Amino acid sequence: MEAFKRLTRAVGDMVRFRDHAKPRLTALEIFKYVGPGLLVTVGFIDPGNWASNVAAGSDFGYKLLWMVSLSTVMLIVLQHNAAHLGIATGLCLSEAAMKHLPRPVAATALGTTVAAAVSTALAELLGGAIALRMLFGLPLPAGTCLTLVVVLWMLFSKSYRRLEKYIIGFVSLIGLSFVFELSLVHVDWGQAMAGWVTPRLPEGSLPVVMSVLGAVVMPHNLFLHSEVIQSRQWNLDKPEMIERQLKYEYLDTLFSMLIGFCINSAMILLAAAAFFSQHISVAELDQAKALLSPLVGPAAGLVFAVSLLFAGVASSVTAGMAGGSIFAGIFGEPYDIRDSHSRLGVVITLVGAAVAILFVGDPLQGLIWSQIALSIQLPITILLQIGLTSRRAVMGPYANRPFTTAVLLVVAAVVIALNIMLLIDTLGG
């Protein structure tokens, strides 16, 4: 009898251990996995996207909504692949490159990615500064410094879990802001539905299309996703755990990219309903806020500026995290804000971007040059990622299948071609 009791307790312990180690496929467990994808979504709704979307809606109405659909599909494919690497190897993209490539090659490639992260952070901090100028009349240098201080405080004083909650909160508030904005204007939903699924290139629209589609996949976001997805790992030494983790990640990525799709679409819908219908072309975010107030109401302009501030701060935080992750990976370490290499990477990314803004007299020129830097670096990151995820020596049994690699290469070719076109157009302009 005593032996039977001991056996019963042992079985109970095994069941409890199994339940702790193995997530159950329930709605609650799926919800617990939401988070890493939303951190990546912030890069999809950063101030640069705001400017492009407002221009698209004000100049072409609902006709360019299809580019949000296409960019979301491309983003899902590449971001899922980046997260796949993090789950299957336990390494971020930066660590995997240092481990599996010749060190000089990997270090050179990652060095260009750190520079791209700085360029990204420049646009994000500038977006926060522009929002502060809208709200309080602060000069751009002062707004940049204030945004930088807030972002560094959030990164250095908060754990990843807290940061994730803050970012989810910011994304939620941005989404609710646009729901409010759309409630104030009349949207032609028939034209909108057609715009989402009908590719069209109205005369003069190519630069706007390229600016949205070409910039949607950002180098730092691919590195960031491969890093932060590991915050959800459970006993990944077991194949069944990896398989389940991959399913959760895919749901998280789909859900998060859908949120990004909705917010980006809302920006175009708002601009189309408020500006295009009045034959008003909007080239700058300051102009959009100034015009919304008399056209729609004072609350609309205020909400627009506040949500832009949330977007600037949130995207600056994720840009800093990405820079810290890339830099730490060069030393073969995961991102950990308590570690000196991660902290140094964050400082290089954010402070470097802020200093660049202070020395750039024209904000528009700053955004142009940051886009040029991303256009040049992006092919390196995408091809690096596909090369790693397609190798069994890196991924083991989870390496990309030939069909998956072919799809990734097609998406990569489209993204790279658009960025090259954007680069040529920018330099030519």
pTM of structure: 0.87
Contact yes or no for 219/117 (Cβ under 8 A): yes
Contact yes or no for 109/384 (Cβ under 8 A): yes
Q: 180-197 pLDDT, tens per residue?
A: 999 999 999 999 999 999
Confidence (pLDDT) at 340? 95
Q: What is the number of alpha carbons within 13 Å of residue 346 lying toward its C-beta?
A: 22
Query: Is the pLDDT reported for residue 224 higher than 80?
Result: yes
Query: Is the pLDDT reported for residue 130 higher than 70?
Result: yes
For residue 419, give the H/E element and its range. Answer: helix 402-428
Average pLDDT over residues 319-340: 94
Could you count the other beta carbons within 10 Å of the beta carbon of residue 153? 10
Q: At what angle do helices 219-228 and 298-330 cross, to 10 degrees?
A: 70
Cα separation values, 194 from 56, 201, 267, 358, Å? 16, 14, 17, 43
Say which residue, 50 or 25, is predicted with more confidence: 50
Query: Is the pLDDT reported for residue 23 higher than 60?
Result: no
Query: Is the pLDDT reported for residue 418 higher than 90?
Result: no
Domains of the chain: 28-428 (1.20.1740.10)
Nearest to 368, CA basis, from 272, 275, 283? 283
For residues 356 and 358, what is the distance between their CA atoms, to the nearest angstrom?
5
Contact yes or no for 390/405 (Cβ under 8 A): yes
- Determine phi and psi for 23, rounding to 5 degrees: -70, 140
Say which residue, 2 or 405, is predicted with more confidence: 405
Confidence (pLDDT) at 407? 93
268: Cβ contacts below 8 Å, ≥ 6 apart: 53, 54, 56, 57, 62, 64, 65, 68
Helices and strands: H and E segment counts in the chain: 19, 0
Query: Is the pLDDT reported for residue 429 higher than 80?
Result: no
- 400: DSSP letter: P
For residues 272 and 275, what is the distance between their CA atoms, to the nearest angstrom?
6
For residues 292 and 257, what is the distance between their CA atoms, to the nearest angstrom?
27
Query: Is the pLDDT reported for residue 24 higher than 70?
Result: no
Confidence (pLDDT) at 423? 75
Token digits for 417? 């071609």
Token digits for 138? 């602060």
Query: Is the pLDDT reported for residue 49 higher than 60?
Result: yes
Length of the chain: 429
Q: 292-304 pLDDT, tens per residue?
A: 988 888 899 999 9
Confidence (pLDDT) at 46? 86
Confidence (pLDDT) at 4? 39
Average pLDDT over residues 237-249: 72
